[in-house]
A and B are shown apart, each in its own frame.
Chain A
């Protein structure tokens, strides 16, 4: 039973960090639907770097760097060129999907390194995730940098008149966001399940994206949602650990997706929509053109 929880929290950690990265970008008004692609890039290149050099540190650094680079690319398209963020995000996903399958193919198989040591049975990244949640919350709501980020996500022209450099603030957010996406991907491929496989992220990026909307852009609700989905995911993989002999495992495989539908139903209720509308960054997905 404890094993199950530990394994669930490990999965939740990846969702938490991935969703948090998306949240940081979105609070600044930048939507990145290509999060799955960025995670694939980070996971694959981090995996290869670690395998070649034998250094976990180098693996993570490469993943973070490539994530930041793709964040920069997304920023260039959506901030400097003012393009459609959804279209560009889809482009990033498809690129990540195709390119990582090509690059990673020769490295198919296990990483073959000593596992990263656990802390009290838990992955150390679990604690990193919790710390990141708290730091993000603090920065967004208690610092002037956070106020600037939230302001460019709500109304960039007001921010500009107040003396804020909208372009710089948005770039800062989107690059930080990309770095964390790459990091989340690398946690998957270097710690959670250190085996390279074709399309091994399996849509976790999209789940993280949905979690951001569900969280109403609040880091703590985001954490709760991530833990819920991480647990459901784990339950669907090994139902016999928790509820041996109850229902077929095929039914359990379906649970996270059924849960998604229930969450979507809840989100479409009047109660939720009103609050959701109030919480949503007003300028999310809109390019800002200096007028």
Chain B
């Protein structure tokens, strides 16, 4: 390992006065940052705060306009990520930079000369196993990456960085998409790595509690500037959020008690296939009532996506029944469902939720073109649609210059607000919200969650699908963990235990028979 000569407390990386300007914005405005060997120093900020730019500068993907970077007191000048890698900087990307068709070991050694011209997989395998033992990772080196869970893929990325001799590790949103037990393992391995004098820089948008448990120092960015440098010991979740957003953020979402009404959605023994034609949903039964949020908690790829698509009419059910207000809609088309009061917020806002090259008005029209009020005899009333879009923009606080802007120019949070607006404005009986806050920053997340609560107050039945256990637990009246296409049980929201649900999401606990 390249750890020789490094003492705990040495300054591992220092950035001085980093400035990067893009047309119209200063993405990084004189950022000063330093991290010591053996330390975890988190960088916090909302989407658009300049985190990505800073991260890319530290990894050599982007060159700063001004400022200097020092690695172990030596001034460096990164022209490409290769320069950064050579100097011992490793990066664990949020959208994994791995080749799914290749094995774990092939991914780790890719492009690294130490493996030799004729690959000596036995020797490298031993080296990697040694790294695994040291930091508590377990992974099958011969497995193909596409077979791995998100947490395992992250382990592969970390191992790849370590194998290349990283002394400074940048983690991009390290805990997003991890099941709670995987998060726990990650935190333990971070601790183990700092004992070996590695410097670790996690970049984080949400999941603030993680920041508090693992890091010693935090730097908070807002609109390209540093707004706070704190020792985590004195910080709280609320104080961090306040620095990030610039105002108080209410964390404890109050579960609003709404009188339980009639059942809206009844799902009986529903099963369906995924794109690869495997059975991904295996006989699921539950019901959602008026004024109720039914939360499905699961790590992605466990059938929740398939369930949402079947309920929205986008995917065929293989067996079972779906009743909406007592009417069998199992074989109804998506349009019929919209007209009967099903509202669907897809998880893929860019691919399914919007058409990037269309204007906001046209995107809003997607959920209104079939309404006689907005399209008489098939001729769309653009004036009315434009007015409606304008209302959405102001009411939902969408940052868009005009209703004619294209959807692709909006940020993720603003696009989600627009989608939310057009779906909720139809006053759906059943609202299917699939990962509604995924990838959103603290401010937008709070906004979306409040809108869901408001819809609940207005007597809608809400099916909330989320990977974020905190979100599920604080919003839902019922919590159902999903694992490999089966609901592991259905628990009243107030009584559900975090550890219990977390273990069920990861398949570590047996299925519980529902009352």
Q: Interface on A for B, CB 8 Å cutoff?
A: 142-145, 147-148, 150-151, 154-155, 157-159, 161-164, 270, 274, 278-279, 281-282
Assess whether B85 is in contact with A163, with CB atoms less than 8 Å apart: yes
Query: Which B residue's beta carbon lies closest to that of A281?
Result: B101
Minimum CB–CB distance from A268 to chain B (whole Å) comes to 13
Residues of B within 8 A of A282 (CB): 99-101
Interface centre among B85, B99, B117, B146 (most CB of A within 10 A): B99
* CB-CB under 8 A for A148 and B111, given A143-B117, A161-B81, A274-B276: yes
Bound Cα distance from A270 to B101, whole angstroms: 19
A-B CB proximity, top 9 nearest:
A162-B111, A163-B111, A162-B110, A154-B99, A164-B111, A158-B97, A155-B99, A163-B82, A161-B97
Assess whether B277 is in contact with A164, with CB atoms less than 8 Å apart: no
Q: Which of B81, B119, B160 contacts A147 (CB 8 A)?
A: B119
Assess whether B101 is in contact with A147, with CB atoms less than 8 Å apart: no
Bound Cα distance from A161 to B164, whole angstroms: 13
Besides A147-B109, A147-B119, 14 more A-B contacts (Cβ < 8 Å) are A142-B118, A144-B109, A144-B118, A150-B101, A150-B102, A155-B99, A158-B97, A158-B99, A158-B110, A159-B99, A159-B110, A161-B97, A279-B101, A282-B99
Bound Cα distance from A161 to B96, whole angstroms: 11
Query: Which A residue's beta carbon lies closest to that of B96?
Result: A158
Assess whether A278 is in contact with B101, with CB atoms less than 8 Å apart: yes
Tell me if B112 counts as interface (CB < 8 A to partner A). yes
Minimum CB–CB distance from B127 to chain A (whole Å) comes to 15
Assess whether B101 is in contact with A154, with CB atoms less than 8 Å apart: yes
Bound Cα distance from A150 to B144, whole angstroms: 14
Interface residues in B78-106 (C-beta closer than 8 Å to A): 81-82, 85, 97-102, 106
Tell me if B192 counts as interface (CB < 8 A to partner A). no
Assess whether B117 is in contact with A151, with CB atoms less than 8 Å apart: no
Tell me if B116 counts as interface (CB < 8 A to partner A). yes
Tell me if B148 counts as interface (CB < 8 A to partner A). no
Tell me if B329 counts as interface (CB < 8 A to partner A). no
Minimum CB–CB distance from B101 to chain A (whole Å) comes to 5
Q: Which of A144, A159, A164 contacts B119 (CB 8 A)?
A: A144
Minimum CB–CB distance from A167 to chain B (whole Å) comes to 14
Bound Cα distance from A163 to B91, whole angstroms: 13
Assess whether B99 is in contact with A151, with CB atoms less than 8 Å apart: yes
* CB-CB under 8 A for A144 and B99, given A159-B110, A163-B82: no
Chain B interface size, under 10 / 10 to 19 / 20 to 34 / 35 or more? 20 to 34
Interface centre among B81, B101, B106, B113 (most CB of A within 10 A): B101
Minimum CB–CB distance from A112 to chain B (whole Å) comes to 45
Bound Cα distance from A164 to B85, whole angstroms: 13
Residues of B within 8 A of A158 (CB): 97-99, 110
Interface residues in B132-168 (C-beta closer than 8 Å to A): 146, 160
* CB-CB under 8 A for A154 and B102, given A161-B97, A163-B82: yes
Query: Which B residue's beta carbon lies closest to that of A291?
Result: B61
Residues of A within 8 A of B106 (CB): 147
Assess whether A151 is in contact with B277, with CB atoms less than 8 Å apart: no
Assess whether B112 is in contact with A163, with CB atoms less than 8 Å apart: yes
Bound Cα distance from A177 to B160, whole angstroms: 31
Residues of B within 8 A of A274 (CB): 276-277
Residues of A within 8 A of B31 (CB): none
Bound Cα distance from A162 to B97, whole angstroms: 9
Query: Which B residue's beta carbon lies closest to that of A139?
Result: B118
Assess whether B101 is in contact with A143, with CB atoms less than 8 Å apart: no
* CB-CB under 8 A for A159 and B111, given A143-B119, A144-B119: yes
Tell me if B210 counts as interface (CB < 8 A to partner A). no
Can you give 29 A-B contacts (C-beta < 8 A)?
Answer: A142-B118, A142-B119, A143-B117, A144-B113, A144-B115, A144-B116, A144-B117, A144-B118, A144-B119, A147-B110, A147-B119, A150-B102, A151-B102, A154-B101, A154-B102, A159-B99, A161-B81, A162-B97, A162-B110, A162-B111, A162-B112, A164-B110, A164-B111, A274-B276, A274-B277, A278-B101, A279-B101, A282-B99, A282-B101
Residues of A within 8 A of B81 (CB): 161
Bound Cα distance from A162 to B197, whole angstroms: 24
Bound Cα distance from A151 to B117, whole angstroms: 15
Residues of A within 8 A of B98 (CB): 158
Minimum CB–CB distance from B468 to chain A (whole Å) comes to 28
Bound Cα distance from A164 to B100, whole angstroms: 17
Assess whether A151 is in contact with B276, with CB atoms less than 8 Å apart: no
Bound Cα distance from A279 to B100, whole angstroms: 11
Minimum CB–CB distance from B474 to chain A (whole Å) comes to 37
Interface residues in B44-96 (C-beta closer than 8 Å to A): 81-82, 85
Residues of A within 8 A of B82 (CB): 163
Residues of A within 8 A of B101 (CB): 150, 154, 278-279, 281-282
Residues of B within 8 A of A144 (CB): 109, 113, 115-119
Minimum CB–CB distance from B26 to chain A (whole Å) comes to 22
Bound Cα distance from A163 to B97, whole angstroms: 12
Residues of A within 8 A of B97 (CB): 157-158, 161-162
Interface centre among A148, A157, A278 (most CB of B within 10 A): A278
Q: Which of B111, B113, B277 contacts A270 (CB 8 A)?
A: B277
Residues of B within 8 A of A161 (CB): 81, 97
Query: Which B residue's beta carbon lies closest to that of A282?
Result: B101
Residues of A within 8 A of B102 (CB): 147, 150-151, 154
Residues of B within 8 A of A162 (CB): 97, 110-112, 160
Bound Cα distance from A242 to B440, whole angstroms: 71
Query: Which B residue's beta carbon lies closest to that of A277?
Result: B276
Residues of B within 8 A of A278 (CB): 101, 146
Bound Cα distance from A157 to B81, whole angstroms: 12
Residues of A within 8 A of B277 (CB): 270, 274
